[in-house]
Amino acid sequence: MESHLSIDEVAKRTGLTAHTLRYYERIGLIAPVARAAGGQRRYAASDMAWIEFLLRLRTTHMPIGKMQTFAKLRGAGDRTVSERRQMLEAHLTDVLANIEAMRQSAESLRVKIAYYRAFEQSLASNSNTDEGDVNETQKSLRTRTRKTARNRR
């Protein structure tokens, strides 16, 4: 484990800011990084691998709270492997549902774009200069993914 990368180097490579890297360490997402003589952080290859993993969790919208839970389990050693696997499996299920919801919505957007394009064509041919708006009347999808489908009161 060669500890060599400065925080700015890591920032450059990961796309995170140095601020965010320190923040992640502060809140326990990243375990305390090795320090050079003067107290400056030196990131090892294993740190980089872990950060990249965190970024994959982030890309898939895992909230920081869950990442913290996961990081804590990891810090507790091998006996938490099964629990970690279960967390990832649950997360993966969410992610796949999410991807599917986005895919469907993207398809709707594509349809709407096509509709707009057709409308622009018809505007171009007969110069229909007065009112009468393009209405958002497409078939009612029921696409919910964010946590908003809660039971209030």
Partner DNA sequence: GCTTGACTTGGAGCGCGCTCCAACTTCTAG
Partner DNA sequence: CTAGAAGTTGGAGCGCGCTCCAAGTCAAGC
Indicate the residue among 8 and 120 with the shorter CB distance to DNA.
8
**In this structure, are residues 92 and 59 in contact, taking their beta carbons and an 8 Å threshold?**
no
Residues in 34-53 that interact with a second copy by CB under 8 A: 45-46, 48-50, 52-53
Strand runs (DSSP E) across the chain, as ranges? Answer: 3-5, 43-44
Indicate the residue among 72 and 112 with the shorter CB distance to a second copy.
112
Task: Give the residue, chosen from 32, 81, 125, 127, that forms a contact with a second copy under the rule CB under 8 A.
Answer: 81
Q: Are strands 3-5 and 43-44 parallel, antiparallel or unpaired?
A: antiparallel
The torsion angles phi and psi of 82, rounded to 5 degrees, stand at -65, -40
**3 state SS of 35:** strand
Measured distance CA(18)–CA(8) in Å, rounded: 6
Task: Give the residue, chosen from 22, 74, 84, 91, that forms a contact with DNA under the rule CB under 7 A.
Answer: 22
Question: Is there binding between residue 146 and DNA (CB under 7 A)?
Answer: yes
Residues in the chain, total: 153
Q: Which residues bind a second copy (CB under 8 A)?
A: 11, 15-18, 20, 45-46, 48-50, 52-53, 55-61, 74, 77-78, 81-82, 84-85, 88-89, 91-92, 95-96, 98-99, 101-103, 105-106, 108-110, 112-113, 116-117, 119-120, 123, 128, 131-138, 140-141, 143-146, 148-150, 152
